Structure 1
């Protein structure tokens, strides 16, 4: 289930090294505490909430109203738990730009190391990215994709797209434990001030269009 999305001003650049180092250390401590109290399922549920994730980025010390909060917070979590993933039972794949395209390989590598069945996770990663980049045509091009998962096969996706014309970025959140269908109403909440016409092929009302699209693809 996509659990919501948020719009943020699109900013370039990167976090200073000294700040990112501190964010990573703090992210590790917070992740460890949340998992200790609520388990990996509780951690995945929380990062899939747009408001909780935004608050986490602020607590870590990043600008509250910037597209960089998404990429930097995900990067800080991934970097912060490096070396203790198997102890925590939490794994992070993907990231920004070219790193996002390595997500399937990173998932597969963790599968080989831990015995976690990787194929369903790779499918979830690719399909969630495809839905938000193709099935939901809202003008935002996906450039960041982080995939968090645990030993039980639960997962959360945090991905972000950019609209260079408006100078805005949009973040999308997914959570496996509330997922019924990838292509029919996959989200439970929409958190957004900016509104614009869009083509939403995952809306329930779009079912005839989805069926027609499938028939046309099979015919060709």
Structure 2
């Protein structure tokens, strides 16, 4: 069976991703994926995408709303656009998406399979089964509206799909991975994210094997006596045989309703570690960047957090809010997206990856050292309080080209939204 990565609560948010951010997300997401594949291989990237904590942090470091369900849509969209020109290089293909795009997934898989050589028809069937399990076998009240299927040339794949419960304003994200998958109907998920909704009917639970078998038998013609016995068992007239609980306790990430990032949402010692590493490594490894006063040093701080998304271990992503400190958030939380910093981050990463392709690893190694030193320094590093850090970022936002989704709205309305 597939490994499960945990669960999370996600508030359901509307709105749109502005073009100025979506285009940057596609570029930054693509180059981060390139760096991961180059350093750790394609299967490792698929493993990261199947991990709900990493996935949320990945979206946050790209400037999306750090806590909301919108990260799912925007990350899948960014990868679909950003990785398309790199399909031959990376051997990765992103299919599906939201709404009508999700329904095109099987046709996309067949077309890609014909082009690169895997069994597209079999994967199209897998896509349908995944959607069917999460909409029918897991009866949790969430209506699926997004289905993203990421597949490699060797046929390995990850599915990220999401459902909504509009009346409760919550979303649940489901992660699947082909590695280790033996059954579509018995504990297939790599992870399920979403708000706890009380008791649900989960027919993919290993403990539901007897129920699945009984349903097939009943529908196959066991007759009225068997149906009466089954109803009696469900109503407690007949005591069901005890089953062993083999569900381990899993990590559970709770994404709060509040838009602003609060001190409790961030592991401050890790933030201080990345700040200290950036201050230490910048003069040594990123001298050319520092020729741009005020922006170059700030970019190295962003790179330290991007480096952790590339190199960090799974346990490092328990506080996705921390990764919003790299490039802010489109809704102004924790601060406006610093476009000058964002663009420099993309430029440095693209340069590092491009040179590494030619055998010159020094820039990519410098970024890796940022992550390593952040972890080394965080135990004893000190720095500004969380409130001071945010206040300074907001103060310098104009210098960094700070921008939010409210900039094109009437000024009074925009100011009111930023105060929320």
TM-score (ref. length: structure 1): 0.94
- Specify the alignment match of 2:84 in structure 1: 82
The structural deviation recorded for 1:13 is: 2.2
Alpha-carbon distance in structure 2 between the residues aligned to 1:189 and 1:93:
20
Name the SS for the 1:169 alignment partner.
strand
The structural deviation recorded for 1:180 is: 2.2
- Specify the alignment match of 1:149 in structure 2: 151
Name the SS for the 2:85 alignment partner.
coil
- Any conservation in 1 of the 2:95–2:149 contact (CA below 8 Å)? yes
1:16 aligns with 2:18: yes
1:130 aligns with 2:94: no
Q: What is the root-mean-square deviation of aligned Cα atoms in Å? A: 1.7
Alpha-carbon distance in structure 1 between the residues aligned to 2:194 and 2:95:
26
Alpha-carbon distance in structure 1 between the residues aligned to 2:166 and 2:13:
10
Which moves more between the two structures, 93-102 or 80-89?
A: 80-89
Alpha-carbon distance in structure 2 between the residues aligned to 1:81 and 1:191:
25
- Identify which of 167, 174, 177 aligns with 2:176: 174
- Any conservation in 1 of the 2:51–2:191 contact (CA below 8 Å)? no
Alpha-carbon distance in structure 2 between the residues aligned to 1:87 and 1:134:
37
- Specify the alignment match of 2:211 in structure 1: 209
Alpha-carbon distance in structure 2 between the residues aligned to 1:190 and 1:129:
13
Alpha-carbon distance in structure 2 between the residues aligned to 1:27 and 1:192:
24
- Specify the alignment match of 1:101 in structure 2: 103
- Any conservation in 1 of the 2:98–2:147 contact (CA below 8 Å)? yes
The structural deviation recorded for 1:5 is: 4.0
C-alpha change, 1:76 and 1:188, in structure 2 (3 Å) is closer
- Specify the alignment match of 2:65 in structure 1: 63
TM-score (ref. length: structure 2): 0.50
- Identify which of 29, 33, 36 aligns with 1:34: 36
C-alpha change, 1:15 and 1:189, in structure 2 (3 Å) is closer
- Specify the alignment match of 1:52 in structure 2: 54
- Larger radius of gyration between Structure 1 and Structure 2: 2
Alpha-carbon distance in structure 1 between the residues aligned to 2:36 and 2:200:
37
Name the SS for the 2:67 alignment partner.
coil
Q: Number of matched residues?
A: 220
The structural deviation recorded for 1:123 is: 1.8
Which moves more between the two structures, 189-198 or 204-213?
A: 189-198
The structural deviation recorded for 1:159 is: 0.3
C-alpha change, 1:189 and 1:26, in structure 2 (3 Å) is closer
Structure with greater proportional strand content: 1
Which moves more between the two structures, 6-15 or 143-152?
A: 6-15
Cα displacement string for residues 33-57 of structure 1 (whole angstroms, at most 9, x for unaligned residues): 1111121111100100000101100
Cα displacement string for residues 146-194 of structure 1 (whole angstroms, at most 9, x for unaligned residues): 0001011100000000001210011010111121221112235555552
Name the SS for the 2:188 alignment partner.
coil
Alpha-carbon distance in structure 2 between the residues aligned to 1:147 and 1:189:
15
Alpha-carbon distance in structure 1 between the residues aligned to 2:117 and 2:219:
36
- Specify the alignment match of 1:200 in structure 2: 202
- Specify the alignment match of 1:159 in structure 2: 161
- Any conservation in 2 of the 1:5–1:173 contact (CA below 8 Å)? no
The structural deviation recorded for 1:138 is: 0.4
C-alpha change, 1:25 and 1:120, in structure 2 (3 Å) is same
Cα displacement string for residues 129-149 of structure 1 (whole angstroms, at most 9, x for unaligned residues): 111110000010010000001
Alpha-carbon distance in structure 2 between the residues aligned to 1:217 and 1:88:
46
Structure 2 gap segments, 5+ residues each? 223-420
